[in-house]
Amino acid sequence: MCGRYTLVTFREQLAEEFDLYEFESFESRYNIAPTQRVPIVRAGEGSGDRELAMFKWGLIPHWAKDPANGNRMINARAETAAEKPAFRSALRRQRCLVPCSGFFEWKALDAVSGRGKGSTKQPYYILRSDERVFALAGLWDRWQSPDGENVGSFTILTTEPNELMRGLHNRMPVIIPREGYALWLDHRMQDIERLAHLLVPWAPDGWVAYPVGTRVNNPAFDDPSCIQAVE
């Protein structure tokens, strides 16, 4: 599962990483939570050029009758997304990149200290060792309300954990390498089998994970203290 992440980056680094030209500035985020509107990168619906768009985290299928369904669709399992009605169309035609500086996962303290299953979980922050921005694999859709309001939303794909993540959780977000951005964003590519090599656990080399304070548990806190290491 991926339930919280960060986006702390300079405009120049974001433009370079994702080949973006013109986009609106936004503030760094240290505790992005589901239902919030955050940047995604997708192929433009007209030109096909990459664009940065603000979408809601929690995918609302275009056919949904209740937009609250999106609150439960923050993640999609990469292994089964092609079979699920909520995700299979987006997997073929509406893929996106979710710019990310790091993500959080929670480890049960009983696994750390033997203090019992009712103990508070310890949050960990996972990021690249060079602290550069990277891309999570996402799917997007647009939902229209009865009064004509258009809501853009997305979900983050997850896969089996790598060696670094295995001790923290049984899932991890799918991370798309830079050389795979063009293929992932190409809506003309609808052969899911040709995308399978991207939907695998990322090699753990060049990544770090460290414990942080429990402020990140509350989405009301969104500041550098959320990623500050603790003993």
The rounded Cα 186 to chain-centroid distance in angstroms is 19
Angstrom distance (rounded) from CA 14 to CA 174: 19
Per-residue burial over 150-188, b = 16 or more CB atoms within 10 Å of its CB, e = otherwise: ebbbbbbbbbebbebbeebbebbbbbbeeebbeebbeee
Strand ranges inside 67-212, DSSP E:
75-77, 95-100, 102-108, 121-128, 134-144, 150-159, 172-173, 175-176, 207-211
Beta 121-128 vs 207-211: how paired, if at all? antiparallel
Question: DSSP per residue over 161-194, as a string?
Answer: --HHHHTT-S-EE-EE-GGGHHHHH-TT---GGG
Query: What is residue 14's DSSP assignment?
Result: H
What pLDDT, on the 0 to 100 scale, is given for residue 48? 65
Collapse the DSSP code of 75 into the 3-class scheme (helix H, G, I; strand E, B; otherwise coil) and give the result: strand
For residue 231, the SS3 value is coil
Residues 6+ apart with CB under 8 A from 38: 7, 29, 32, 54, 55, 57, 98
Q: Which of 2, 96, 100, 226 is catalytic?
A: 2
**Digits of tens for pLDDT over the chain (231 positions)?**
789 999 998 889 999 999 998 888 888 999 999 999 999 999 987 666 899 999 999 999 999 988 887 788 999 999 999 999 999 999 999 999 999 999 999 998 764 444 445 567 999 999 999 999 999 999 999 999 888 889 999 999 999 999 999 999 999 999 999 999 999 999 899 999 999 999 999 999 999 999 999 999 999 999 999 999 998
Give me the phi and psi of 194, to 5 degrees please: -80, -5
| Phi, psi angle pair for 99, to nearest 5° | -60, 135
Domain 5-225, CATH class in plain words: alpha beta
The residue extents of the domains of the chain are: 5-225
pLDDT of residue 116: 43
User: Is residue 2 annotated as a catalytic residue, yes or no?
Assistant: yes
Catalytic one of 100, 105, 149, 179: 105
Q: Report the predicted TM-score, pTM, of the whole model to 2 decimal places.
A: 0.93
